[in-house]
Amino acid sequence: MSSKLELSWPEECQHVIFRELGTHYIRQGQYTVATSNFAKASKANPGAVECHYRRSVAQFRNSELKDALASARAGLAVERDELDLRGRDFDCSLQECKTAFELDQLEEHVKVASNSSPAFGGHRLKDIQAEIRLAHRNYENALGDRAGPCLYQQRNRLKKIAVEREAAAHVETRPSWKIKRDRKECDAVSVAEVVIKQPHIREKKRKQKNLKVLGQAYLNRGWKDLEFISSLRKGGAWEHTVNLSQAQESSKKLSETIEKCYERVDSALISMQSRTPYSTYRNNRFGTAEDAQLSVMDTVFKARYQTYRDVLNQLDHMHELRAQGNLEMLRIYVGDVLWDYYQIKTERVFPDRYKYVNEVCNLVGLAITDGLQISPVLMDEPLKERLAVLFDLPIGKDEEEVVVPIFGDKSTYRDPAAPDYGYIAYNQGAKLYKKKGNIRRGFVAQECPP
């Protein structure tokens, strides 16, 4: 096209000519030339909505999706009237929905289609509703029947999760007291408390026993090697020989080597156990179910016999400590036995556990009472003073016998204003007795709980 020809066209007809040229080039598949002609038509008459729409169609077919969306919205901006909601252009609205869907802007597609539906009716409304159904079907296929409603119900929680993730991504390098000072929070404890839940000792012993059984069944002599490696790991008996504060680098390397060895042997043990389960091993070993049950009962009786042997040996050692008067060692030994031995025994192998627990507690109580000394001259004291001597209380002053005053006899006269030394001594002794008695009862209750 020459510029002379363009200048010869009237201004009111230029946009029509460029529009028809663009339509002609669209039919021929020359979308780039068509787009340039539609751009000239829109420039000649910015209020021509059809030029914006056809330009968007040409860009859409030429895979210029972002430009197509901008052209469709430019046409909607021209046509939109705030006072008349029915003034939206249908072609531009439908083109905007399709372009947003092709751009994978699924949320924008749903929003545009939903906002456009009130402005149309009839067959146009059906086309917009088809876009809405397409969006909903796409969400259903992507999320399923449960994920969509679940996400909708948890929409407020998702906002909180986003805030928490943003806070976690932003790591504060300042001290905690400065952070709490800015937030105006109470800084009772500046160091964050870390709570580590430790498993029960019975659970630890059960896992150790199961590992020992599997190791002896599948590794044979190699079980000793696994036991040695386990003792060198964190929490093992020989952990302190591996992690030395004087050699941190070599200790770290050695710990990593030990962990690799343990993981290798442990994975091999797991694979062997999965190939040949322990139940199959026992069935092949013992034959019928009756023989297997007899073997299980035999194992239980052996464990019960060994348990009672250990308990009786422990009681003998406790009696020896009591006879020696070593109360401190007796308390330490009893605490270790009650926690490290009695707690790990089940009712099956130790049915009389509670009876022996009571016996151990009574033994400790008797050992404590052995330390209480009774004065050898207790029976030589008068009857009313023996209790004070037993609890080591000061004896009050010797009181005179109560004299009944007789009228006319001066020897029986007593001054009523004189202090009553007997009552004063009794009151002081009663207070001290109550104080010491509470201390003794509390001590006995603490050391020998029922």
Per-residue pLDDT tens over the stretch 165-196: 887 787 777 777 778 778 777 766 555 556 67
Alpha-carbon gap, residue 226 to 312, rounded angstroms: 32
Q: Is 400 a residue whose pLDDT tops 80?
A: no
CB 366 within 8 A of CB 447: no
d(CA 232, CA 243): 9
pTM check: above 0.75: no
Tokens encoding 240: 């302190």
Most confident of 177-186, 211-220, 271-280, 424-433: 211-220
- Structure-model confidence comparison of residues 447 and 339, the more confident one: 339
Residue 152 is predicted with a pLDDT of 75
Q: 1.25.40.10, 1.10.1740.10, 3.40.50.720, 3.50.50.60: which CATH number matches 3-153?
A: 1.25.40.10
349 vs 347: CA distance, rounded Å: 6
Averaged pLDDT for residues 388-400: 65
Helices and strands per DSSP (H, E), number in the chain:
20, 0
| pLDDT at site 83 | 42
Q: pLDDT category, 330, cuts 50, 70, 90?
A: very high
Confidence at residue 74, expressed as pLDDT on a 0 to 100 scale: 83
Sequence-distant (≥ 6) Cβ neighbours of residue 75 within 8 angstroms = 49, 51, 52, 53, 56, 89, 92
Yes or no: say if 304 and 349 are a contact pair by the CB < 8 Å rule. yes
- Find all residues with CB under 8 Å of 204, minimum gap 6, and list them: none
Q: Would you state the pLDDT for residue 315? A: 95
442 pLDDT above the threshold of 70: no
Rounded to the nearest 5°, which phi and psi values hold at 123?
Answer: -65, -30
Work out the average pLDDT over 339-354.
88
What pLDDT, on a 0 to 100 scale, did the predictor assign at position 299?
87
379: tokens are 């029976």
pLDDT digits (tens, 9 = 90+) for 246-292: 788 888 888 899 999 999 888 888 888 777 776 666 666 556 777 77
* Residues 83, 45 contacting (CB under 8 angstroms): no
Domain assignments of the chain as residue spans, ordered by start: 3-153, 201-286, 293-370, 378-447
Continuous segment of H or E residues that includes residue 154: none
Contact 75, 92 (CB under 8 A): yes
User: In the structure, what pLDDT confidence band is assigned to residue 388 with cuts at 50, 70 and 90?
Assistant: confident
Computed on alpha carbons and rounded to an integer, the radius of gyration of the chain in Å comes to 48
Mean pLDDT is highest, among 40-49, 68-77, 341-350, 369-378, for: 341-350
Q: pLDDT at position 4, please?
A: 46
Residues 6+ apart with CB under 8 A from 22: 33, 34, 35, 37, 38, 41, 51, 54, 55, 58
Confidence of residue 313 (pLDDT cuts 50, 70, 90): very high
For the segment 77-105, the average pLDDT, to the nearest whole number, is 71
| Residue 5 CA: distances (Å) to CA of 17, 51, 188 | 11, 21, 85
Specify whether the CB–CB gap between 58 and 22 falls below 8 A.
Answer: yes
Q: Does the pLDDT value for residue 316 go beyond 90?
A: yes
Q: What is the mean pLDDT of residues 134-142?
A: 79
pLDDT score, position 86: 47
Q: Indicate the range of 71-85, 96-110, 155-169 predicted with least confidence.
A: 71-85
Q: What is the mean pLDDT of the chain?
A: 79
